[in-house]
Amino acid sequence: MNAMTPTHEFDPQLLSEVAALPPLPGVYRYFDEQGGVLYVGKARNLKKRVTSYFQKNHGGTRIGHMITKIVRMETTVVRSEAEALLLENNLIKTLNPKYNILFRDDKSYPYLKLTAAQPRPEGGASMAIAYPRIAYYRGAVEKKHRYFGPYPSAWAVKDTILLLQKVFRLRTCEDTVFNNRTRPCLLYQIKRCSAPCVGHVSPGQYALDTANAERFLQGQTQEILGELEKKMLAHSDRLEFEQAAELRNQMSALSKILHQQSMEIGGDKDVDILAVKVQGGKACVNLAMVRGGRHLGDRPYFPTHVEHATDVAALDAEPDSPGAPVKEKSLEALVLEAFIAQHYIDVPVPPTLVVSEPVDKDLMAALAEQTGSRVAAIHQPREQRRVWLEMAQKNAGLQLARLLAEQGSQQARTRALAEALELPMDNLDALRIECFDISHTAGESTQASCVVFKEHKMQNSEYRRYNIEGITPGDDYAAMRQVLTRRYTKLAEAARNGEATLPDLVLVDGGKGQVSMAREVFVELGLDLGLIAGVEKGEGRKVGLEELVFADGREKVYLGRDSAALMLIAQIRDEAHRFAITGMRAKRAKVRVGGSRLEDIAGIGPKKRASLLQRFGGVRGIASASVEDIAMVDGISTELAEEIYRALH
């Protein structure tokens, strides 16, 4: 191999692995001494691409800094570049490497769900399974049902459901409600449902409305209008004026929607509009969605590790074959391509992407191969698409400006708190604060919450709840002792062995009593008492008058009503309280309905559950019934009735 970076020598084992790489497509991962993933990349020719990292002098660049940390490498050979693209971005999302642009999306997309119609049992009443239902849905999909979307927000789904109710009058009620109706509900009265629950619409007509609703969601509104007009004229010719009037009203509602949407979307049916904005070391990709010919709204995404992207990606952009031109890309293009590659792993790709930056043809070809259908990326669009893109670019700029303002404010709060409490100032991004709160109702369903603040924001994925047991009901001090002991016993041991890091500050929601209890726990565990602070209510328990109480004997500190440090303390404490309250309420609700849902009981399927609910009117009614009463329900044996009774008591 050629001369290495002068200031660093690599392990001979690593260099021999590099020399032995095959000239095939694949994915490579670099690791540091601690086992952390530094970078994940893909290559058409693994040998040439990986060798280029170790043959050149990269000086004091970010890539040079990364290369000096590499102690281990892993590679995976794949069959095609499309397969490499998929594996690379799956690994990026899973491993969170330090030098890759990473898009985190903790929220799944909402969908509109249309349940599958099933034939009614012979001789049965008008059962819900025969009449498909439209509903908001988020989660794993089932093949037997139809799903439309994804939608950028819950509001977009609910707005679409409202349109379907107005035009096609499909039901939205749960099956148990449907099966127990004896007269139409309010939605029928306001012409939002055709009341199939009480037989006000025939199964054939409802099936036709369902099919038209599906076609509407797919953008076939003109075809639906044409068919409705033919049927209206046929009814009119047969002097069936009431039916003709119903179809006329349906056409009128659909025409209004069609007119509004034609003003917005032109002739496109399924399009994603992607605009990127980079500023101040941060980036935003704004995604606007058009589905079924309807503009559904937009959603911003903010990647991490943007600052490392340019140098590393520049090396990856170098050609695998000598003499080929180098593909120089702007940071905006790199961010956009990273988003496209990562986002469409889990989300269906529409046939058209309107983009603010040119997108690599190889990426689009790999996407098309992955999805099995042609995908076009249109840069510098015209007419209506240009209007969309300009709107998405404006929204990206606004969202990024909002993020920078919020982060600047939050960083100022972190700095103010660190200065006020003399916390470490050398790396404020790594400053970690953990806050505890106890919540219960008259001693019932006691829970403790632990929330984490780091990198200038709340870290939801690191929140924890603790069920508190074996204490006198209402004893908050004993609850605090238990949660702190459980939280820090193993962590303290791991910290002494250098395997974990303790927080820089531990906040407890309370005054001297709670701090004294925390002090006892920390003394037993041999931890620094300077880490503990209690948030004590001020005079009259007024907001803004809180004081900090310390376990190491320091005097109380009043930060000041308008202090940025107090604002951060209040934010963290309120989040701990919110998290504890929601957990306590959920636990209490479960306790009060018998500690178990029907579907959690072995032997209870959908039919038996429906029969039980129909007989007793709900879970509370079942819980108040005797074993003999439960056993009288069709399909429930005495043994199963006893099991249900035990589970609900």
pLDDT value of position 635? 82
Going by pLDDT thresholds of 50, 70 and 90, the confidence category of residue 430 is confident
- Half-sphere exposure in the Cβ direction for 348 (13 Å, CA): 17
pLDDT above 90: percentage of residues in the chain: 12
- List the one residue out of 640, 632, 600 whose CA is nearest residue 616: 632
- Which of 28-32, 453-457, 640-644 shows the lowest per-residue confidence on average (mean pLDDT)? 640-644
- List the one residue out of 211, 243, 223 whose CA is nearest residue 131: 211
Distance (Å, rounded) from C-alpha 436 to C-alpha 483?
8
pLDDT value of position 435? 93
- Is residue 48 predicted with pLDDT exceeding 70? yes
Going by pLDDT thresholds of 50, 70 and 90, the confidence category of residue 619 is confident
Domains in the chain: boundaries: 12-95, 271-289+335-401, 428-584, 593-648
Q: How far is CA 217 from CA 16, 295, 640, in A?
A: 57, 12, 44
pLDDT, tens digit, for every residue of 60-92?
A: 566 777 888 888 899 999 887 778 888 888 888
- Is residue 599 predicted with pLDDT exceeding 80? no
- Is residue 4 predicted with pLDDT exceeding 50? no
Distance (Å, rounded) from C-alpha 236 to C-alpha 245?
9
Please say whether the beta carbons of 307 and 281 come within 8 A: yes
pLDDT, tens digit, for every residue of 112-150?
A: 888 888 776 655 555 778 889 988 888 777 778 888 877
pLDDT value of position 273? 93
Alpha-helix residue ranges (DSSP H) falling in 20-139: 46-55, 62-69, 81-95
Q: List the CATH code of the domain at 428-584.
A: 3.30.420.340
Going by pLDDT thresholds of 50, 70 and 90, the confidence category of residue 3 is very low
pLDDT, tens digit, for every residue of 460-473?
A: 888 998 888 888 87
Give Cβ neighbours of residue 45 (< 8 Å, ≥ 6 apart).
Answer: 23, 24, 25, 320, 321
Report the pLDDT averaged over residues 244-254: 69
Distance (Å, rounded) from C-alpha 204 to C-alpha 181?
20
Distance (Å, rounded) from C-alpha 498 to C-alpha 324?
49
pLDDT value of position 107? 60
Give Cβ neighbours of residue 491 (< 8 Å, ≥ 6 apart).
Answer: 500, 502
Distance (Å, rounded) from C-alpha 86 to C-alpha 102?
14
- Which of 51-65, 143-157, 181-195, 374-388 shows the lowest per-residue confidence on average (mean pLDDT)? 51-65
- Residue spans of beta strands (DSSP E) within 347-402: 352-355, 376-379
- Is residue 255 predicted with pLDDT exceeding 70? no
Give me the residues paired with residue 457 across strands.
454
- Is residue 323 predicted with pLDDT exceeding 60? no
One-letter identity of residue 590? K
Q: Which residue has the higher pLDDT, 163 or 617?
A: 163
Locate 231 and state its tokens. Answer: 């049927």
Distance (Å, rounded) from C-alpha 156 to C-alpha 160?
6
Q: Is domain 12-95 classified as CATH 3.40.1440.10?
A: yes
- Is residue 350 predicted with pLDDT exceeding 80? yes
Going by pLDDT thresholds of 50, 70 and 90, the confidence category of residue 336 is very high
Q: How far is CA 367 from the centre of its chain?
A: 23
Distance (Å, rounded) from C-alpha 70 to C-alpha 32?
5
- Is residue 602 predicted with pLDDT exceeding 50? yes
- Residue spans of beta strands (DSSP E) within 372-519: 376-379, 433-441, 444-454, 457-458, 464-467, 505-508
Going by pLDDT thresholds of 50, 70 and 90, the confidence category of residue 259 is very low
- Mean model confidence pLDDT for the chain: 80
As a three-state string, the secondary structure of 203-253 is HHHHHHHHHHHHHHHCCCHHHHHHHHHHHHHHHHHCCCHHHHHHHHHHHHH
pLDDT value of position 451? 93
Q: How far is CA 473 from CA 446, 469, 600, in A?
A: 8, 9, 28
Domain 593-648 class in CATH: mainly alpha
pLDDT value of position 453? 94
Distance (Å, rounded) from C-alpha 432 to C-alpha 491?
14
> How many other C-beta atoms lie within 10 A of the C-beta of residue 281?
8
- Half-sphere exposure in the Cβ direction for 67 (13 Å, CA): 26
Report the pLDDT averaged over residues 522-548: 80
pLDDT value of position 8? 58
Q: Which of 79-88, 273-282, 534-543, 587-596 has the highest mean pLDDT?
A: 273-282
pLDDT value of position 354? 94
Do 12-95 and 428-584 show the same overall fold? no
pLDDT value of position 62? 65
Distance (Å, rounded) from C-alpha 495 to C-alpha 225?
69
Distance (Å, rounded) from C-alpha 61 to C-alpha 545?
49
pLDDT above 70: percentage of residues in the chain: 82
> How many other C-beta atoms lie within 10 A of the C-beta of residue 468?
22
- List the one residue out of 268, 327, 326, 321 whose CA is nearest residue 293: 268
Q: What is the H or E stretch that residue 300 is in?
A: strand 294-301
Give me the residues paired with residue 26 across strands.
43, 77
